[in-house]
């Protein structure tokens, strides 16, 4: 019966769960901010996430996510250090299905850009 267990584990991987608390998270949506909109969401555990639908603007999405985590306080956001002040996890995401793509970095051979989610938790 071992194989059956593994199959279940695999399908569990694709559920949209927060990497910090393992709760299912909501589909990203446009959240109004002071300047424009932030495309992402907030988990029950306090982690926030930003979505990059193209997988090509991660730097920008990361900065927006960090600012969102700091309630739009960019000055505070700039002073935070990864690992010390916050933790970050990057997930591959399928926006159409609202699923995470299993394997993550295992797909490195494929150069196709994928949608990404950046999860960030202030420590």
Q: Which residues bind Zn ion (CB under 5 A)?
A: 18, 20-21, 43, 45, 47
Report the residue number, 42 or 57, with the smaller CB distance to Zn ion: 42
Nearest to 55 by CA among 120, 121, 110: 110
Give residue number: closest CB to Zn ion: 18
Please state the closest distance from residue 50 (CB atom) to Zn ion, in A.
14
In the block, which residue shows the tokens 């960030």? 120
Report the residue number, 47 or 69, with the smaller CB distance to Zn ion: 47
Please state the closest distance from residue 1 (CB atom) to Zn ion, in A.
31
Report the residue number, 47 or 51, with the smaller CB distance to Zn ion: 47
Please state the closest distance from residue 20 (CB atom) to Zn ion, in A.
5
State how far the Cα of 58 lies from the Cα of 55, in Å rounded to an integer. 6
Please state the closest distance from residue 116 (CB atom) to Zn ion, in A.
17
State how far the Cα of 82 lies from the Cα of 66, in Å rounded to an integer. 10
The answer to whether 65 and 50 have CB atoms below 8 angstroms apart is yes
φ and ψ of 97, to 5 deg: -95, -10
Report the residue number, 47 or 61, with the smaller CB distance to Zn ion: 47
Neighbours of 49 (CB within 10 A): 28
């Amino acid at each position: 019966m071992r194989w059956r267990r593994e199959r279940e584990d695999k399908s569990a991987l694709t559920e949209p769960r927060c990497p910090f608390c393992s709760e299912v998270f909501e589909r990203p949506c446009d959240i109004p901010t002071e300047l424009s909109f932030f495309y992402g969401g907030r988990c029950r555990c306090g982690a926030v996430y930003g979505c990059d639908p193209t997988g090509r603007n991660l730097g920008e999405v990361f900065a927006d996510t960090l600012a969102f985590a700091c309630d739009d306080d960019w000055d505070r956001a700039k002073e935070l250090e990864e690992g010390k002040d916050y933790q970050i996890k990057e997930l591959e995401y399928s926006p159409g299905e609202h699923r995470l793509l299993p394997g993550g970095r295992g797909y490195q051979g494929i150069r196709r850009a994928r949608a990404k989610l950046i999860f960030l938790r202030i420590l």
